[in-house]
Structures are given as structure tokens and as C-alpha cells.
Amino acid sequence: MSTEPQQFDGIVLGGGPVGQNAADRARAAGLSVAVVERELVGGECSYWACVPSKALLRPVLAVSDARRVEGARAAITGAIDAAGVFGRRDRYVTNWDDSGQADWVENIGATLLRGHGRLDGPRRVSVTTADAGQLTLTARHAVVVCTGSKPVLPDLPGIVEARPWTNRQATDSSSVPPRLAVIGAGGVGVEMATAWQGLGSAVTLLVRGSQLLPRMEPFVGELLDRGLTAAGIDVRMGVSVRALRRPEADGPVVLEFEEGDALEVDEVLFATGRAPLTDDIGLDTVGLTPGTWLDVDDTCRVRAVEDGWLYAAGDVIHRALLTHQGKYQARIAGAAIGARAAGQPLDTAPWGVHATTADHHAVPQAFFTDPEAAAVGLTAEQAAQAGHRAKIIDVEIGDLVTGAKLFADGYTGRARMVVDVDSRRVLGVTLVGPGVTELLHAATIAVAGQVPIDRLWHAVPCFPTISELWLRLLEAYRDSEYLLV
């Protein structure tokens, strides 16, 4: 059944955190907005990624932290209560009931439409609703694609019969597999290896390359490998899966390796990358290729589409597949749409937010592994490739920071600060160790704000917190300058 087209100032495809932020900013500018969502309002992050994964990980890390403190470790006398952890997770994902987030969309004054939205030519969206009805929407000013990404599974013999886990099964399952293989060295792989080992699985982490979290500084992977191994995870580097077998529907999975040996497990999780959810959203109707990432400018306008009406934010633009970065992009897109609709210069957008500059030099990322890992800005290698004359400052956190010693007996961790020699500004910071994710925003402010080293001396860290690390980094930088005299 079709109806007459409904017209809005803006249409947002995708009701996850990114789409919600785009809609919120456009509504704040006084525009009428429709949000189209085909699954749960709140998206991957709320139900199968960030929120449930951290709900699973926090009890594991809390127990690990307690075991590092004399006097506290004696209180840890049993295994983690997996059923309790799953119940806590279920509360945080509201038992996969999105009514609260749906109400939020309606409460900001946006119109929520449940169904599969597809572009149908310029400024036009067709929505197939849950009851197989058909709606047509038109946009006066903008359509914003916030459809996210999906897991990529390799084309291996037997993979269909093996029924592997992706991030969804890894975060919504409520039974602990006795033996779990995790394939992948990135964030999903190392976090889920940490979580499920803590919940009671015998975990084997399989890595094709030679480093965990390979996009971070090499020492992060080294310390993480050491920590995961100490926790009981079997970390295997330089291995490639050739094929999978699951002879019986409810039986174990056998992984065959290129190297000739095999591994039998109860479940296997593939954490081997993401692809854009753009294959079935009508890109071909506006001259774009279905299934591709979308290239945007710094206001999140899709470059290849004439007249500037199509925007995109979040995973689909492939700048940083991180929820917080997608929300940042969406806020800028919404503000830019509002300013352009009103015929105003972009620099008059609310709070001066009019360009995604952080995408290029200040993207923060945190991994809730044991030990934790966090970084923002450029690595030493990236700084060199970008042509910076950079000074690299390393500090062993447990050796020099009193707050870290009090946080954990025998604290092991490292920090790196990359400083541009000419501007004397921080280009990047990398941290690994217990509790370091809570230090990340201070580093992000230093990098995004391009704060000079001389000014950072006046940001006094509170004693005795792990933040005293900042003073030790500055002292190491000062001492390195003396050595050059």
C-alpha cells in the first residue's frame, strides 16, 4: 500500500546513537525530522556492541583489579557468577526493548518510522514498513545516512555449517561455552577474549599477524599479550584458519589451520572486520555504488552527490568505527544542515561546531582489556609519516607514578607521549595499564586543544592519582631537552 509523500526538512536513515544525534541537532535548529529504523532504536552500540560488551567486561576487570591489591585479593574466593553478569548485561540493554529510546526520539519532536529505508532518487526515501506497507518521504534540505556497519565473515569452507559467532552472539549469549576460539587481533577480538575467559571459557585467541591491536603503538600489543596470557588465554600469533567443520549440529567446531594442525572448540567468534551497511539503501538511485563506504567532506556532506543534500556519519564514512566519533560527526552534520537551511554561515552553527577536525588528528579509542589500552592522536610512526619532527617520551607507569602503585601492587603499564618539536604541542598519547581508560580524556583535551607543553606544566595533577603520570611525562620531556643541550 502506498501513500502520498510525507515531507520533512531532514530524513535520517538509522536510529542508533549516530542517527539520534543527527536528528537532535537538526531539531535544535528548528527543522522537522523523520528517523527511519529497521531494527531496534538505539542501534548496534546499545544492544550488541559498546553497552553489552562493557557490561560483560566490568565484572571481569573489577575482580582482576581486586586481585592486584594485597588484602583485597583474599576476598576473591570463587569464580565469577556468570548468571549475575548476564542479568546485569540484560538490564543495561533493557532486555532488548527499545521503547525507551523510541520515546526519546519522539520527545525531541522527531517522527520515528519503523521500517527499511532506501534512497529513491534525490531527496527522496522509500520506507518498507514492518507490515509490508510502503511510505514515501521527501526532504526539503537533507538526508543523512547513519546505517552503520556489519561484521565481515571470511569466505572459508564450512563456515556456514559452523554457525560462527559475530559481535552479536558474543554480547547477547547467556551461556558460557567451555571452549571458545576468538579470531582477530582488533578491539572486538581482544575484548571478547577477555570477557569470556573471565566468565569461565577456555579461550584461544588466534591472530594472523604478529601484534594485538596492530593500529596502536607496538608496546601495547606486547603488554596486552603478556596480560592475556597471564590470565589464562592461549594467544597464538601467525596462524591462519583454512577451513571449519561442525559434523554435528550441536557438536564442537573443528578449525583447520594453514599450518596443518587443527583445534576443536565449542564455539568460534570471528572478529575480522566490518563492512558498511549500504548495500540495500538505494545508493544506485543517486549515482553511488551499493555496499561502499561513503566519502564526505568535513561537514559530512557526501562529496559525489550533486546539490549537497546527502550527508553521512558514523561507520559508513569509514573514518573511525567508534560510536563516540560517529556521534561527534552527527552533531556537526546536524548543525551544518540547520545553518545551511537557515542560510547562515557555518561558523555561526551552535557552539562553533562546523567541521569534523577531530577526525583527522584527535580520535580517542579505549579498549577494556586486562590491561586496559587507550590512545588519542598520532602514534610515533604516524607522526613521522606525516612529516613531523617528533620527540617520543615513554614512561613506565608502575615505576614512577605513586597513584599507580597504590592502585595495584606491582602495577605494570606504559605511557607514550608524541610531541612536535617545532610547535611544542602534543600530537598523540598512548596508554596501557590497569585503569588507564579514565585518563584518556585529559590526553584528548591536550591533543584536540593543541595545548603547548609549556602550558601543560600548569595543569597540576592531583596526588596520589594515576593522573600524576602527566607530571612524569613532562619531566621526562624536560630531561630529554637537557640531554640535547
Distance CA 404, CA 432 (A): 12
Is residue 149 a contact partner of residue 277, using CB atoms and an 8 Å limit? yes
Distance CA 1, CA 77 (A): 62
Distance CA 1, CA 226 (A): 60
Is residue 407 a contact partner of residue 415, using CB atoms and an 8 Å limit? no
Confirm whether residue 194 is marked as ligand binding.
no
Confirm whether residue 273 is marked as ligand binding.
yes
Confirm whether residue 433 is marked as ligand binding.
no
DSSP β-bridge partners for residue 325? none
Confirm whether residue 148 is marked as ligand binding.
yes
Question: Exposed, middle or buried, 431 (CB in 10 Å: 0-12/13-18/19+)?
Answer: buried
Distance CA 352, CA 261 (A): 58
In degrees and rounded to multiples of 5, residue 317 shows phi and psi of: -95, -5
Confirm whether residue 229 is marked as ligand binding.
no
Confirm whether residue 282 is marked as ligand binding.
no
Confirm whether residue 90 is marked as ligand binding.
no
Question: In what helix (H) or strand (E) does residue 19 lie, and over which residues does it extend?
Answer: helix 17-28
Confirm whether residue 187 is marked as ligand binding.
yes
Helix, coil or strand: residue 106: helix
Confirm whether residue 184 is marked as ligand binding.
yes
| Among the listed residues 56, 16, 94, the one whose alpha carbon sits nearest the alpha carbon of residue 188 | 56
Question: In what helix (H) or strand (E) does residue 397 lie, and over which residues does it extend?
Answer: helix 397-400
In degrees and rounded to multiples of 5, residue 144 shows phi and psi of: -120, 120
| Among the listed residues 163, 159, 224, the one whose alpha carbon sits nearest the alpha carbon of residue 193 | 224
Contacts of 8 (CB under 8 A, 6+ apart): 31, 32, 33, 34, 111, 137, 138, 139, 140
In degrees and rounded to multiples of 5, residue 449 shows phi and psi of: -80, -5
Confirm whether residue 117 is marked as ligand binding.
yes
304-307: Cβ within 8 A, 24+ apart: 305/122, 307/122
Confirm whether residue 19 is marked as ligand binding.
no
- Burial per residue of 351-368, b for 16 or more beta-carbon CB atoms within 10 angstroms, e otherwise: eebbbbebbebbbbbbbb
Confirm whether residue 435 is marked as ligand binding.
no
Q: What angle do CA 337, 343, 348 make, to 5 degrees?
A: 70
In degrees and rounded to multiples of 5, residue 199 shows phi and psi of: -85, -10
Helix, coil or strand: residue 374: strand
Q: Where are the beta strands (DSSP E) in 336-396?
A: 364-367, 373-377, 390-396
Confirm whether residue 9 is marked as ligand binding.
no
Is residue 273 a contact partner of residue 287, using CB atoms and an 8 Å limit? no
Q: Point out the annotated binding site.
A: 54, 117, 147-149, 184-191, 273, 315
Binding-site residue numbers for NAD(+) are 184-191, 273
**Which residues make up each annotated binding site for FAD?**
54, 117, 147-149, 315
